[in-house]
Structure 1
Amino acid sequence: MSGFQINLNPLKEPLGFIKVLEWIASIFAFATCGGFKGQTEIQVNCPPAVTENKTVTATFGYPFRLNEASFQPPPGVNICDVNWKDYVLIGDYSSSAQFYVTFAVFVFLYCIAALLLYVGYTSLYLDSRKLPMIIFGFLNMILWGGNAWFVYKETSLHSPSNTSAPHSQGGIPPPTGI
């Protein structure tokens, strides 16, 4: 068994080069989702006809708990004598977003470990017959477990989620009198 020796040759082969690409992709995956911020705006006309449209804005971001993002008018502006904090976006997508970011972090850590193995312990990896099989078996187990989980989530074995919320849960009411 030999110690740590840097050998960059595996990075020139597909096995190492793909791990570098996966490592970079995982950084972009958790950075773009974890740091995302956005907003949506609606224009409001109050009856009787007002000459100027007013805008209310709802800002949101990771982890996408939209049901906590309330609409806000510009500071110091009263629009139609309405408390806009009572109106929020519909949906809570935090579970999916957090799963995505967590999975990207795990891929990041796995790629670092694999690159250390390929670059630092190339001789150990190439001389051992059991180590590649253990790694392949472990990854195969994760792949099968992930597939089984998604099959479970997409079938009737798992209770379907309610994707639309009624008005009583904080959604914007439909226009009346039109």
Structure 2
Amino acid sequence: MPSSNLCVLMQLASAGTFQVLKLPLGFIRVLEWLFAIFAFATCGGYSGQLRVSVDCMEKASSNLSIGIDFAYPFRLYQVSFEAPACEAMRRDRVYLIGDYSSSAEFFVTIAVFAFLYSLVATGVYVFFLNRYREISRGPLIDFVVTVVFSFMWLVSSSAWAKALSDVKLATDPDEVQLLISACKEPTNKCGSVHGPRWSGLNTSVVFGFLNFVLWAGNIWFVFKETSWHKGASKFPNAASEKQTGAFNQQPYNQGTFDQSGSYNTQPSEYSQVGGPTSYSNQM
């Protein structure tokens, strides 16, 4: 018996899940949950590398493949590498320039919280949808949170897009060569072997703005569940019913036919002053 009851509950839960996912409210929440994963995974899990070469006049001091690794959260001022000074086998430690951790961490934090809220909201829709609609406070909170996340996605995605362009500039091999003292000497030759790959970070920016579109579009569907929308929709119906009732009221009584086919005349609300009251009196 316990196993059969468990199977019935699982079937009911799966059927409820399917019904909720067909609604825009639940379907968009699932997309928000999925796109939030892509956003923080592509940004928070990034690591890149660039390589430059320093060809000294003294070939023994040259290094034609200097690897420079950097990763999230892009505190580039902490990234260092050794480059030949082209003087008596001496080497210099060079640091990159820039700190873009605030924008990157802000973007990832919004993505993580959006992921958690979408997961919780989807669970409420699946298992407690009727209760969610009965309590007016639940849809109102859901509406406010959706508006806030829409704004935060726009701000964080814009900030991260600007920071990413700065990261690309700071890790450009041509710009990194300017930090190496040996490259300032005309007798030495410096060049770039290869630059970082930006496809992952470019994708994170795209997912950021896609999340903004999803959350902003979901504002309407969440607003329809609130008491504000339901209360506003009652006023036009009440006004139309009132107009219909006023139209059906007649200002005076008209004559009607009875079952025998004779015409019964009802007295009107007004009468002619000094005029005849019936046809027989006129005769």
TM-score (normalised: structure 1): 0.69
Measured after TM superposition, the shift of residue 53 of structure 1 is 6.2
Structure having greater relative contact order (Cα 8 Å, sep ≥ 6) = 1
Deviations 1:117-169 (A, max 9, x none): 1111111123334421232134335656x49x88xx9xxxxxxxxx98xxxxx
Task: Assess, with a 3 A threshold, how the Cα gap between structure 1 residues 33 and 143 changes in structure 2: closer, same or farther.
Answer: closer
The residue aligned with 1:98 is: 105
Q: Distance in 1 between matches of 2:26 and 2:144?
A: 19
Q: CA RMSD in A?
A: 3.2
Kindly report which structure 2 residues correspond to 1:15-34, keeping only aligned pairs within 5 A, or say none.
15-34=25-44
5+ residue gaps, structure 2, are 1-11, 160-168, 171-177, 188-283
List structure 1 segments (4+ residues) > 4 angstroms apart after TM superposition: 141-144
Task: Assess, with a 3 A threshold, how the Cα gap between structure 1 residues 69 and 133 changes in structure 2: closer, same or farther.
Answer: same
- Which residue, 66, 82, 91 being the options, matches 1:83? 91
Task: Assess, with a 3 A threshold, how the Cα gap between structure 1 residues 28 and 15 changes in structure 2: closer, same or farther.
Answer: same
Deviations 1:44-91 (A, max 9, x none): 1102578x8611111011111111111246xxxx6733424x212211
Task: Assess, with a 3 A threshold, how the Cα gap between structure 1 residues 171 and 95 changes in structure 2: closer, same or farther.
Answer: farther
2:68 partner letter: A
Measured after TM superposition, the shift of residue 34 of structure 1 is 1.6
Q: How many residues are paired up?
A: 150
Task: Assess, with a 3 A threshold, how the Cα gap between structure 1 residues 29 and 138 changes in structure 2: closer, same or farther.
Answer: closer
1:132 partner letter: P
SS where residue 25 of structure 1 aligns? helix
- Which residue, 129, 142, 155 being the options, matches 1:122? 129
Answer with 1 or 2: which has the greater Rg: 2
SS where residue 50 of structure 2 aligns? strand
Is this contact kept in 1: 2:114–2:149, CA < 8 A?
no
Deviations 1:16-50 (A, max 9, x none): 11111111111111122221111111111102578
Is this contact kept in 2: 1:58–1:72, CA < 8 A?
no
Q: Distance in 2 between matches of 1:175 and 1:138?
A: 54
1:39 partner letter: Q
Task: Quote the sequence identity (%).
Answer: 40
Is this contact kept in 1: 2:43–2:108, CA < 8 A?
yes
TM-score (normalised: structure 2): 0.45
1:107 partner letter: A
SS where residue 87 of structure 1 aligns? strand
1:91 partner letter: G
2:71 partner letter: G
2:112 partner letter: V
Is this contact kept in 2: 1:90–1:171, CA < 8 A?
no
SS where residue 27 of structure 2 aligns? helix
The residue aligned with 1:63 is: 73
Is this contact kept in 2: 1:33–1:97, CA < 8 A?
yes
SS where residue 71 of structure 1 aligns? strand
- Which residue, 35, 44, 49 being the options, matches 2:54? 44
